[in-house]
Amino acid sequence: MNLEAILEALLFVSSEPLKINRLKRLFPESSLKEIRLALNNLKQRYAKECHGIELVEVAGGFRFQTKAQMRSYVISLKQRPPLRLARATLETLAIIAYKQPITKREIEQIKGVDVSSSLKTLLKLRLIKPSGRKEGSRAMLYKTTYYFLEVFGLKSLEDLPNINDVEG
């Protein structure tokens, strides 16, 4: 069994980043160390200039993606336009990202306006999801999704910029 070749095939066909724990379940005979070593070897192999893709760690898993310097060549193949969010929706998403889990009412207290439309858009785009109810209340809590991390190229929420660095 060539672990690197199998990992390469799985990463190639996966529609979402593959988490290390999932890979371990697929390869019970391999140790986590062996899987990480194989992923690192693939990462190094695809980092070479002769490849148009790279292996990246994002949203708690690994995926292949187009290298930044190649994107302009393949942009015309994309069927959907880049994600564009209205300013109000983007502000709502930022509040959720930094304050999660958070209720609609708490977001509205921060923004001072109704956020129903923004929440509906973010839910439809799968950037946020309900995460239960606030204790002692019927209010729905919202948090970001793994897809949010994927879209913004983040390994985890810890990779968000420091809130003090972005406040103006």
Distance CA 6, CA 156 (A): 26
- pTM of the model as a whole: 0.61
Q: What is the mean pLDDT of each run of 10 residues along the chain (168 residues)?
A: 91 93 92 95 94 92 91 69 85 96 97 96 96 93 94 89 70
Q: Pick from 114, 112, 115: which is nearest to 128 by CA?
A: 115
Q: Is CATH 3.30.465.10 the right assignment for the domain spanning 3-77?
A: no
Contact 24/30 with Cβ under 8 angstroms? yes
Contact 149/155 with Cβ under 8 angstroms? yes
Q: What is the structure's pLDDT at 76?
A: 67
Q: What is the structure's pLDDT at 68?
A: 87
Which conformational region is residue 134 in: left (phi greater than 0), alpha (psi within -120 to 50 degrees), or beta? beta
Which conformational region is residue 105 in: left (phi greater than 0), alpha (psi within -120 to 50 degrees), or beta? alpha
Q: What is the structure's pLDDT at 80?
A: 59
Q: Where in the chain is the domain with CATH 1.10.10.10?
A: 3-77, 87-166
Q: What is the structure's pLDDT at 115?
A: 96
Candidate CATH numbers 3.30.70.270, 1.10.10.10, 2.60.40.740, 3.40.50.2300; the one for domain 87-166: 1.10.10.10
Instruction: Tell me which H or E stretch contains 31.
Output: none
